Amino acid sequence: MPMNRAPWRNVHLYDASTGATLGGFYQAGSVTEATMVWILGNVLLVVEDEWIVRHRSSGRSIGPSSNPVVPADYDIYSKGTIRVSDEAWFARLISHNVSGREDAFRDGVRARDGKCVISGVVNALAPWDVWAGFQAAHVFPLEYESLWIQFNYGRWITNMESALGSSKINSIQNGLLMSENLHTFFDQYLFSINPDDGHKIITFAPNNWAIDGRILDPICCDPNNPDHVSDDVLRWHFRQCILANMRGAGEPVFETDFPAGTDMMATLRAEPYGKVRFEMELGSRLRFIHGKG
């Protein structure tokens, strides 16, 4: 069964008036005090009055500084009620391309990036069109295309203005090329990119990936390239990553290794969010069978 994300946290957040745990996160070094204050005020908390966060052992008030958050306990003070946001979080599959229109997405992302834009590792076999170990990842997941359409997220895409009748979810602007293992971690919301902090990469779990604090490779976010990745889809993923990792006990980390003979669908049905993931997996397989992206 999947586990939540609380066990590896080294930053813990509490309601000062009740002592209740509000959440927390794993700090590898890249989260600044300014980022933490922004996250608390704009994503995680619903507070009726002015509030302040203090480092528990020293009593120091935390402001919007560029200093890294020190792993510790932090108390949030307010004269009003503090509660954790109930904003929806969206579990996702480990996404892979399965159809013709996604082939165009994959090929376009490969042509733009040519490397893992997270780690910086260049695909030395690209001149021979060999991409083993590299995958084009959707930032906003294909499984939620109905949500994408419902909220008109196609407005975030600027390089498909003439694509009538298309949701634009397979735009190159909704994609990043990354190594296969990092793609899995990205889909599990274990790291993300903050486009409002210089496209800094932030990890939310202990790892040896050597990416925390790196800057997303400029090759994919050059504003002069009409196919640059959309900052708006990056913001969506970063927000989902915050909700997955920092709220309450955190959301589950799902199983991704299904050896031969494993009843994958039974495993999905038994997991938290199992019905949603089961339906997404079934839909993905049907797209593959019918050749519809």
The CA R_g of the chain, rounded to the nearest whole Å, is: 20
Tokens 């990043």 label which residue?
176
How far apart are alpha carbons 82 and 114 in whole angstroms?
46
The CA-based angle 14-18-19, given to 5 degrees, is 40
In tens, the pLDDT along 164-201 reads 657 899 999 999 999 999 999 999 999 999 999 999 99
Among 19-23, 82-86, 129-133, 251-255, the range scoring the smallest mean pLDDT is 251-255
Helical spans, DSSP H, in 135-263: 145-150, 180-187, 231-246
**Better pLDDT: 139 or 282:** 139
Task: Give the tokens for residue 231.
Answer: 């900052």
In tens, the pLDDT along 213-249 reads 999 999 999 999 999 999 999 999 999 999 999 999 9
Among 18-32, 96-110, 137-151, 236-250, the range scoring the smallest mean pLDDT is 96-110
> Residues 6 or more apart from 42 whose CB is under 8 A from it?
none
